[in-house]
Amino acid sequence: MAGIYIHVPFCRQRCLYCDFFSTTQLRQHKEDYLSAISREMELRRNYLGGETIQTLYLGGGTPSLLAAADLERLFKTLDHIFPIAHDAEVTMEANPDDLTPAYLRTLRALPVNRLSIGIQSFDDEELRFLHRRHDSRRAIEALEACREAGFENLSIDLIFGLPGQALARWASNLKEALRLDVPHISAYGLTYEKHTTLYRLLQAGRLQAVDEALFLEMFSLLMERMETAGYEHYEISNFARPGRRSRHNSSYWTGDKYLGLGPAAHSYDGGSRQWNVSALLPYLSGMAEAKPVFEKEILTPQSLYNDYVLTRLRRCEGISPTDLVIRFGKGALSYCMEQAAPYLKRGLLTEKGGTLHLTREGIFLADEVISDLLWLDSATKPEV
């Protein structure tokens, strides 16, 4: 199983909190970008060793800024170069503002069969603070328009823990999301990433982060409400109706190969990871000269083990000892269980049906627990 990710690095405006790579210069660079992506597909056609593509994901940036004709061109090239499964999951990220009935009709004629919509909040004041370009009414209309156009496989993103956000406000956001009955919800606590306006405002003392206790209450409320509504909490930040998990993101977490196209896109081929330059002009000139600009890391048993522990513990399936031994040997299992012991005792980890999982309390402290299970240096090297 393999996937392809295409990074569309254009946004109409930059949101306050975002550290994804994107530029607002769509008009100036769109044509060169589309040519460069096609060129990259040609240059890297063998990266996945001819494996059939089961998932395609257009992320960004804002892929919904591309016109239907641009998307059609991308899909045609993809189809020409890669073997794509007839039932592939094809996700496109979209901004609610772009999802007009006319645009959605054109999308229906393309291979897109799943939309991931950056709603973030149903509260207009919060949306203004985040510097989003839609309001809550537009978000609701966009969801209705998606359904009318025949898109049922929908996901929305929500953010909680905004400065000054009260628990009741988060609760009403969740209520609205549940009323709209979207089959997949990704909910993230707001983080203050360096190089964002949000981070600079925090550093300048112009806003205050929510305190940890309130943040945890919000997370707890999220889990409770989603569980009561029948969603499966299948990854720390992701909830799905049965059968509606994101196949693309799940394949990242289970270690499948993927090819990332476009500036800042990451790729993984089972033995190494590489990432394209996070700047548009070097990306474009690299592709024009058939000399892609990227960095590459050959994965050691240590980094493979660490990725495995990190991604498995974030998922509801947890770590299976049998699988861990098959992949990394008995030494790795003993090491993992030794590191896990204090957390099992504190009730942050549990062994259910022979597999190791984060408990509900453990989910709140996931970073701490996971980092202690990682293989950090040669002094703690498991014998594999």
Binding site for ligand SF4 (CB under 6 A): 11, 14-15, 18, 20, 22, 60-62, 95, 118
Q: Which is nearer to ligand SF4, 26 or 340 (CB)?
A: 26
CB-based burial label for 202 (10 Å; 0-12, 13-18, 19+): middle
If the CB atoms of residues 199 and 221 are measured against ligand SF4, the closer one turns out to be 199
Task: Specify the residue, 118 or 260, whose C-beta has the smaller distance to ligand SF4.
Answer: 118
Smaller CB separation from ligand SF4, 120 or 339: 120
Pick the closer one to ligand SF4 by CB: 119 or 324: 119
DSSP string, 342-372: HHHHTTSEEEETTEEEE-HHHHHTHHHHHHH
Do 7 and 265 contact (CB within 8 A), yes or no?
yes
Closest distance of CB 12 from ligand SF4, Å: 7
Structure tokens at 342: 């204090």
Query: Minimum Å distance from CB 130 to ligand SF4?
Result: 8
In the complex with ligand SF4, the residue whose CB is nearer, 10 or 234, is 10
Residue 283 CA to residue 277 CA, distance in Å, equals 6
Strands 114-120 and 154-160 turn out to be parallel
Residue nearest to ligand SF4 (CB): 18
Name 188's bridge partners. 159
Contact by Cβ (8 Å): 99, 64: yes
- The answer to whether the beta carbons of residues 130 and 15 sit under 8 Å apart is yes
Among residues 63 and 183, whose Cβ is nearest to ligand SF4?
63
Q: Which residues contact 162 (CB under 8 A, 6 or more apart)?
A: 121, 126, 129, 130, 190, 210
For ligand SF4, which is the closer residue by CB, 9 or 382?
Answer: 9
Angle made by CA atoms 160, 164, 169, in degrees to the nearest 5 = 55
134 or 357: CB nearest ligand SF4: 134
Interatomic CA distance for residues 332 and 85, integer angstroms? 36
CB of 19 to ligand SF4, least distance (A): 8
Residue 7: helix, strand or coil by DSSP?
Answer: strand
CB of 23 to ligand SF4, least distance (A): 10
Question: How many whole angstroms separate alpha carbon 79 and alpha carbon 295?
Answer: 27
Minimal distance, residue 127 CB to ligand SF4, in Å:
11
> Could you tell me the smallest distance in angstroms from the CB atom of residue 98 to ligand SF4?
10
CB of 263 vs ligand SF4, minimal distance in Å: 13
DSSP letter for 278, please: S
Q: Do residues 296 and 43 lie in contact, with contact meaning Cβ atoms separated by under 8 Å?
A: no
Q: At closest approach, how far in Å is the CB of 21 from ligand SF4?
A: 8
Closest of 28, 40, 47 to residue 267, by C-alpha: 47
| Burial profile 325-354: b = 16 or more Cβ within 10 angstroms, e = fewer | bebbbeebbebbbebbeebeeeebbbeeee
The CB-of-45 to ligand SF4 minimum distance in angstroms stands at: 28
> Measured from the CB atom, is 18 or 229 closer to ligand SF4?
18
Give min distance, CB of 61 to ligand SF4, in A.
5
